[in-house]
Chains A and B, each alone.
Chain A
């Protein structure tokens, strides 16, 4: 990295270079130096150096071979961030001059040039795109992201890293390429690797059935989830947990290799390759609850009371109960409305309409 890009180019020329529009070679009649807008042959070393020094293609080649992390997934991710597959070096460098921005889940990644052979990456929450840097807490160590990812803006714990509840108010103003990938990993672990595997056609998906089959201990019970209607239950799990409103990963796992689930997998950039530990833990609870038989309860509700119960379930399921205005008694899930319903319909033991659960 301390090497001069032109020195590196001269040293590598005998091996040949063909990268992002830059072609360099060495033959008996001297060096060749080609880019889409110029082609020179028969150059002596001074001529090669002169051609190289004036070309952004050289800094670009050097960055991607001597500065950026060389492991496939990280390299591919960093290339994707600046649209290297779609944009040639000159237009890409023009864009990088201004700073290019890409979204990765709720992360906003900016890339800009750092000299001709470097990149500087900025990282912040997408909702902070327009927030002045002085209003954001600046971080340098990519591992600080582990702490930032831990709690949401309300201070509540986020057990699922890809939940769409990433806190705001922070930024990493100037990360190098390796540190940028580390920070992304700390926010969204393994997403870069699984995304890369998917692009290579090598994503190893473990479907529901296979995942529950390997469960043991207290989770062994989820194996019985496959009873009766089979995958219909799994659709409910996916609808409950794997929606874009709950997780930014795009669900790629299905019931099994042959049986797709009915519910959509979401639109996230990075794939979900198997049911996660939260899904399994929730499914364990549902497995136990779904083992119960239905029974008939009889009580009377007004039409509005029935609709109010539906509104309460919706508000809680969509995480919207906090957003209902204090005095909005027109909303069935309003707190005063719910308290009135409880005062009217619950007995001292908390039984709806005085009907005992186990009667």
Chain B
């Protein structure tokens, strides 16, 4: 029986483009032929989490949440809506950023579901953030002379939300690629509003950890940072704010290399996708393809 991949994303009742990155990454993976079936599914759109497994023929499914952090959605909503009744957060044995996978049975369909940690906390997500910086500056060597701000939503209701952002900021700082790396937030300190205060570098790349571009990444973060008075007027890349050139990247989830993280999650759970990973990395990470 062939293996299937199901991507679980949030989606939106209000924003038509919220699902676009999910479709795009699914298409990239579909084109590799690594899975007999690749299905998108959503909390707010259709196919809904509740119904998607019945549209999948395979008995063995790799389920990858296209979410930024571990927490409410990955630990409660997705397992419940997919009817993974044996689920217990202990199965992931995670400290908030270290979830890997758990193998469960879907009660309504009987399928074996390898439930993976979210894309946002996978180590390879750090590479996507760096790739996003390369994309937005159009410079594969970007790093020296640049600061990097990794921006999260932040919320007091979920401590893992900030952990996921800090985790990647620390990892990227450890690469010694950028002069400075900071984790900043919308709803908690340190706040992205004051981005220029946190950097000495004249050039700062700002990468928001969101799956899709929407209200936060296209309206309030640009306005809060002072890139524009009104988001409808747009902003330049880079845009000068208080003497700093701000290279605003938009949602990290729109970066094509995200498809690789989805595959890495499935691979960690036992899916046979090594050739697909190589292919996707070659296609979506320009720098890797040229030997960077």
Binding site for B on A (CB under 8 A): 71, 143, 146, 150-151, 157, 159-162, 185, 189-190, 192-194, 197, 204, 214, 216-217, 273-274, 276-278, 281
Q: Cα distance A274–B46 when bound, in Å?
A: 13
Contact pattern, B 142-160, Cβ under 8 Å of A = 1, otherwise 0? 0000000000000000000
Contact B47 A189 (CB under 8 A): yes
A–B Cβ pairs within 8 angstroms, 15 of them: A143-B23, A143-B27, A151-B16, A157-B15, A161-B45, A161-B46, A189-B51, A190-B48, A190-B51, A193-B55, A204-B108, A216-B76, A217-B72, A277-B13, A277-B48
Residues of A within 8 A of B12 (CB): 159
Which residue of A143, A150, A185 contacts B55 across the interface (Cβ within 8 Å)? A185
Interface residues of B in 15-51 (CB under 8 A from A): 15-16, 23, 27, 43-48, 50-51
Q: Cα distance A247–B43 when bound, in Å?
A: 19
Contact B54 A194 (CB under 8 A): yes
Interface residues of B in 38-97 (CB under 8 A from A): 43-48, 50-52, 54-55, 57, 72, 76-77, 80
Which residue of A143, A146, A190 contacts B54 across the interface (Cβ within 8 Å)? A190
Residues of B within 8 A of A143 (CB): 23, 27
* Beyond A143-B27, A190-B47, 12 extra complex contacts between A and B, CB < 8 Å: A71-B57, A146-B23, A159-B14, A159-B45, A185-B47, A189-B46, A189-B47, A190-B51, A193-B54, A193-B55, A216-B77, A281-B13
Q: Cα distance A311–B57 when bound, in Å?
A: 50
The chain A residue with its CB closest to the CB of B108 is A204
Contact B48 A159 (CB under 8 A): no
Contact A278 B13 (CB under 8 A): yes
Residues of A within 8 A of B47 (CB): 185, 189-190
Q: Cα distance A190–B50 when bound, in Å?
A: 10
Residues of A within 8 A of B48 (CB): 189-190, 276-277
Residues of B within 8 A of A214 (CB): 80
Residues of B within 8 A of A217 (CB): 72, 76-77
Contact B14 A157 (CB under 8 A): yes
Name the distance in Å between B93's Cβ and chain A's nearest Cβ. Answer: 23
Q: Cα distance A143–B20 when bound, in Å?
A: 13
Name the distance in Å between B105's Cβ and chain A's nearest Cβ. Answer: 16
Residues of B within 8 A of A274 (CB): 50
Residues of B within 8 A of A216 (CB): 72, 76-77, 80
Contact A193 B51 (CB under 8 A): yes
Residues of B within 8 A of A276 (CB): 46, 48
Residues of A within 8 A of B80 (CB): 214, 216
Residues of A within 8 A of B55 (CB): 185, 189-190, 192-193
Name the distance in Å between A173's Cβ and chain B's nearest Cβ. Answer: 22
Residues of A within 8 A of B54 (CB): 190, 193-194, 197
Shortest 10 CB-CB contacts between residues of A and residues of B: A189-B47, A157-B16, A190-B51, A159-B13, A189-B46, A193-B54, A161-B46, A71-B57, A190-B47, A190-B55
The chain B residue with its CB closest to the CB of A69 is B57
Contact B16 A150 (CB under 8 A): yes
Supposing A143-B27, A217-B72, A277-B44 touch, asked if A190 and B14 sit within 8 A by C-beta, the answer is no
Name the distance in Å between B117's Cβ and chain A's nearest Cβ. Answer: 20
The chain A residue with its CB closest to the CB of B49 is A277
Name the distance in Å between A70's Cβ and chain B's nearest Cβ. Answer: 9
Q: Cα distance A7–B271 when bound, in Å?
A: 38
Residues of A within 8 A of B76 (CB): 216-217
Q: Cα distance A190–B46 when bound, in Å?
A: 8
Residues of B within 8 A of A192 (CB): 55
Q: Cα distance A192–B55 when bound, in Å?
A: 9
Q: Cα distance A357–B16 when bound, in Å?
A: 35
Q: Cα distance A192–B46 when bound, in Å?
A: 14
The chain B residue with its CB closest to the CB of A160 is B46
Q: Cα distance A171–B55 when bound, in Å?
A: 24
Residues of A within 8 A of B50 (CB): 274
Name the distance in Å between A167's Cβ and chain B's nearest Cβ. Answer: 12
Residues of A within 8 A of B46 (CB): 160-162, 189-190, 276
Q: Cα distance A281–B48 when bound, in Å?
A: 14
Interface centre among B44, B54, B72 (most CB of A within 10 A): B54
The chain B residue with its CB closest to the CB of A162 is B46
Q: Cα distance A143–B43 when bound, in Å?
A: 20
